[in-house]
Structure 1
Amino acid sequence: MTIEEKKARLLRLSEKVTEEWLKEQMDYCIQKIEQNMDRFGTKFPSACATNGRYRIKENDDWTNGFWTGMLWLAYEWTGKEKFLIIAMENIQSFKERLDTHFVLDHHDIGFLYSLSAGAGYKVTMNDLCREEMLAAADVLLARYQERGSFIQAWGKYGDPKEYRLIIDSLINLPLLFEATDLSGNTCYREAALKHYQTVLQTVIREDATTYHTYYFDPETGNPSYGATHQGHSDNSIWARGQSWAILGIPLNQNFLPTPIPENYGAIVDVFIEHLPEDLVPYWDFDFNDQNPSDKDSSALAIAICGLLEASINQAYPQAKLLAQGMIYQLGEYYSTKDMENNEGLLLHGVYAHAEGKGIDEPNLWGDYFYLQALMCLLNPNWTRYL
Structure 2
Amino acid sequence: MLQSIAYENLSNPPATSAGRETLRQQLIHTREYVLERLRRNLASFGDKFPAETCVNGRYPLTENVEWTTSFWTGQLWLAWEMSGDEVFREAARRQVRSFGLRIAGRHDTNTHDLGFLYTLSCVADWRLNGSREARGFALLASEALLERYHAKAQIIQAWGDLDDPEQAGRMIIDCTMNLPLLYWASEQTGDPRFANAARAHVNQSARYLVRPDASTWHTYYMDRTTGEPRYGNTQQGYADDSCWSRGQAWAIYGFLLSFIYTGDKTMVTLSKKVANYFLNRLPEDGVCHWDLALKDTDALRDSSSAAIAVCGLLELVNHLPVTDPARARYQSWAEHIMASLSRNYLVQPDDSGTGLLKHSVYHLASNKGVDECCSWGDYFYVEALMRMTESWKRYW
| Range class of TM-score, shorter chain | over 0.9
Amino acid corresponding to residue 336 of structure 2 in structure 1 = G
Cα distance in 1, alignment partners of residues 97 and 252 from structure 2: 32
Alignment of 1:96-175 (within 5 A): 96-162=101-167, 163-175=169-181
> CA offsets, 1:113-168, max 9 Å, x none?
00000111111101111111111111111110012100000012232121210000
Match of 1:360, SS state, is: strand
Is this contact kept in 2: 1:14–1:321, CA < 8 A? no
Contact 1:49 1:362 in 2 (8 A): yes
Q: Please point out which of 367, 370, 384 is paired with 2:378.
A: 367
**Counterpart selection for 2:393 from 370, 379, 383:** 383
Map 1:47-62; keep pairs closer than 5 Å. Answer: 47-62=52-67
After TM superposition, give the deviation of residue 12 of structure 1 in Å.
Answer: 5.7
Q: Does 1:34 align with 2:39?
A: yes
Residue 196 of structure 1: which of 202, 212, 215 is its match?
Answer: 202
Give the counterpart of 1:78 among 83, 98, 117.
83
Which amino acid is 2:201 matched to? H
- 1:293 is displaced (CA, Å) by 1.2
* 8 Å Cα contact 1:210/1:241 also seen in 2: yes
164, 184, 187: which one pairs with 2:190?
A: 184
Q: What's the secondary structure of 2:51's corresponding residue?
A: strand
**Separation in structure 1 between the aligned mates of residue 32 and residue 361 of structure 2, nearest angstrom:** 25
Matched pairs, number: 383
Match of 1:345?
356
Please say if residues 14 and 328 of structure 1, whose CA atoms lie closer than 8 Å, have aligned partners that are also in contact.
no
Which structure 2 segments of 5+ residues have no match? Answer: none
In structure 2, distance between residues paired with 1:221 and 1:14: 51
Q: Distance in 2 between matches of 1:33 and 1:150?
A: 37
What CA distance in whole angstroms lies between the structure 2 residues aligned with 1:100 and 1:313? Answer: 39
2:291 is the alignment partner of 1:284: yes
**Deviation at 1:286?**
2.5
Label 1:275 to 1:61 Cα distance change in 2 as closer, same or farther (>3 A).
Answer: same
Match status 1:269 vs 2:276: yes
Contact 1:26 1:374 in 2 (8 A): yes
Q: Report the counterpart of residue 317 of structure 1 in structure 2.
A: 327
Q: Which moved more, 1:232-241 or 1:321-330?
A: 321-330
Q: Secondary structure at the match of 1:8?
A: coil
- Decide whether aligned partners of structure 1 residues 204 and 11 sit closer, same or farther in structure 2, where only a CA change above 3 A counts: farther
Q: 1:12 to 1:227 in 2, by over 3 A?
A: farther
After superposition, what is the alpha-carbon deviation per residue over 1:220-279, rounded to whole angstroms, capped at 9, x for unaligned?
A: 121111100000111010011111111111121111122134343221111111111222
Please report how far the alpha carbon of residue 17 of structure 1 lies from its aligned counterpart in structure 2 after TM superposition: 4.7
Distance 1:150 1:324 in 2: 35
Secondary structure in 2 aligned to 1:350? strand
Provide the C-alpha distance between the structure 2 equivalents of 1:67 and 1:385, rounded to a whole number of angstroms.
Answer: 14
Offset, 1:72: 0.6
Local SS of the residue matching 1:48 = coil
TM-score normalised according to structure 2 size: 0.93
Secondary structure of 1:225's match? strand
8 Å contact kept, 1:12–1:325: no
Tell me by how many angstroms 1:14 deviates: 5.8
SS in 2 for 1:47: coil
RMSD of the alignment, in Å? 1.7
How much has 1:11 moved relative to structure 2?
6.2
**In 1, Cα distance between equivalents of 2:206 and 2:99:** 31
CA distance in 2, matches of 1:9, 1:234: 31
Q: Distance in 2 between matches of 1:368 and 1:194?
A: 28
- The answer on whether the counterparts of 2:250 and 2:308 sit within 8 Å (CA) in structure 1 is yes
1:333 aligns with 2:344: yes
Counterpart of 2:227 (choices 214, 221, 227) is 221
Letter in 1 for 2:192: T
Q: What is the CA–CA distance in structure 1 between the aligned matches of 2:189 and 2:149, rounded to whole Å?
A: 19
1:325 aligned partner, one-letter code: H
Inter-partner Cα distance in structure 2 for 1:346 and 1:142: 35
Helix, strand or coil at the partner of 2:171: strand
Change (3 A) 1:292 1:340: closer
Residue pairs, 1:8-27, within 5 angstroms: 8-9=13-14, 15=20, 17-27=22-32
Post-superposition Cα deviations, 1:40-67, rounded to whole Å, max 9, x if no partner, equal: 1111001000111000101111000100
Take 2:37 and 2:252, find their aligned partners in 1: how far apart are those partners?
Answer: 28
State the distance in 2 between where 1:232 and 1:339 align.
34
Q: Following the alignment from structure 2 to structure 1, what is the Cα–Cα distance between the partners of residues 275 and 22?
A: 21
